[in-house]
């Protein structure tokens, strides 16, 4: 693995995110000016809050990339303690998240919960309850293994996790609370500036978080490359 590969991959992904952001902002500007409609193909396929479009596919590919890298680490003979089961578990987790980005599994889970339990306020999007509990359980389960990582890697993982969760959960919860406060329908948020800003930041933080995680995995592989390659 070349020494500068992590930086090249990071730069490439950031360029991709920037292009998607420009398209996202441009189509919204055109919609506000009446040049296109919110139901038009170009808007649906570039808006960060829509399903099965360019941003969601890109985000899914980022999660899939992380899953593949985690699997590679699991099979590698690294120069540090290598808990294979831990890396394989994380690989499966990110494979699930990649599927979730396209299939919106979290939304289906949220609707199922809401049909049995009344949720409101910060839990307007009730899937955050399920995934929030899941994050806590997984975090506790993985804590011992995480603390065995080199300090640099642990710090990078924490930073990427904080960035991702800030978008995926924190801003989503605030958005849900604001929708309830204003007595709005979910479908209306796509055309209101303050909600456009919120879901734009939300999706950006998610993409940036997983991007930094990918970068961290590449740096980890570079710094602790296989013992066999040194023989």
CB neighbourhood size of 154 (10 A): 14
> Is 231's pLDDT higher than 80?
no
Angle separating helix axes 127-147 and 84-103, nearest 10 degrees: 160
pLDDT band at 115 (very low <50, low <70, confident <90, very high): confident
| Furthest-apart CA atoms within the chain: distance in Å | 66
| Domain ranges within the chain, ordered by starting residue | 59-230
> 38-67: per-residue pLDDT in tens?
889 999 999 999 888 999 999 999 999 999
Count the Cβ atoms, other than its own, within 10 Å of residue 111: 12
C-alpha 124/C-alpha 114 separation (Å) is: 9
DSSP conformational letter for 4: T
* Banded pLDDT at 229 (limits 50, 70, 90): very low
Which region, left, alpha or beta, applies to residue 140 given φ > 0 means left and ψ of -120 to 50 means alpha?
Answer: alpha
CA 49, CA 53: separation in Å to the nearest integer?
Answer: 10
Alpha helices in 82-183 (DSSP H): 84-103, 105-114, 127-147, 151-165, 172-182
**Which long-range contacts link 62-66 to residues 24+ away (Cβ below 8 Å)?**
62/13, 62/207, 62/210, 62/211, 62/214, 63/94, 63/95, 63/97, 63/98, 63/101, 63/210, 64/94, 64/95, 64/98, 65/214, 66/94, 66/210, 66/213, 66/214, 66/217
The candidate with the shortest Cα–Cα distance to 164, out of 59, 21, 45, is: 59
Residue 192: band (very low, low, confident or very high) from pLDDT cuts 50, 70, 90: confident
- Model confidence over 126-157: pLDDT tens digits? 999 999 999 999 999 999 999 999 999 999 99
Q: Is the dihedral of CA 135, 14, 214, 7 positive or negative?
A: negative
Which contiguous run of DSSP H or E holds residue 82?
A: none
Contact 61, 16 (CB under 8 A): no
């Amino acid at each position: 693995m070349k020494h500068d590969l992590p930086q090249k991959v990071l730069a490439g992904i950031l360029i991709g995110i920037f292009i998607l952001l420009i398209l996202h902002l441009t189509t919204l500007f055109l919609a506000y000016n009446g040049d296109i409609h919110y139901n038009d193909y170009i808007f649906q396929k570039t808006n960060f809050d829509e399903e099965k479009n360019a941003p969601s596919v890109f985000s899914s590919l980022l999660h899939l990339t992380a899953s593949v890298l985690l699997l590679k680490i699991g099979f590698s003979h690294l120069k540090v303690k290598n808990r294979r089961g831990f890396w394989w578990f994380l690989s499966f987790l990110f494979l699930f998240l990649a599927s979730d980005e396209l299939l919106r599994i979290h939304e289906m889970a949220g609707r199922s919960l809401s049909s049995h339990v009344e949720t409101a306020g910060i839990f307007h999007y009730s899937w955050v309850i399920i995934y929030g509990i899941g994050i806590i359980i997984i975090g506790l389960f993985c804590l011992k293994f995480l603390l065995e990582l080199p300090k640099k890697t642990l710090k990078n993982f924490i930073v990427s996790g904080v960035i991702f969760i800030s978008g995926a959960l924190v801003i989503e919860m605030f958005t849900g609370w604001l929708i309830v406060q204003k007595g709005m329908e979910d479908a209306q948020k796509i055309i209101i500036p303050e909600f456009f800003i919120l879901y734009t930041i939300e999706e950006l933080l998610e993409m940036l978080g997983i991007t930094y995680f990918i970068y961290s995995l590449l740096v980890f592989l570079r710094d602790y490359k296989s013992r066999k390659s040194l023989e």
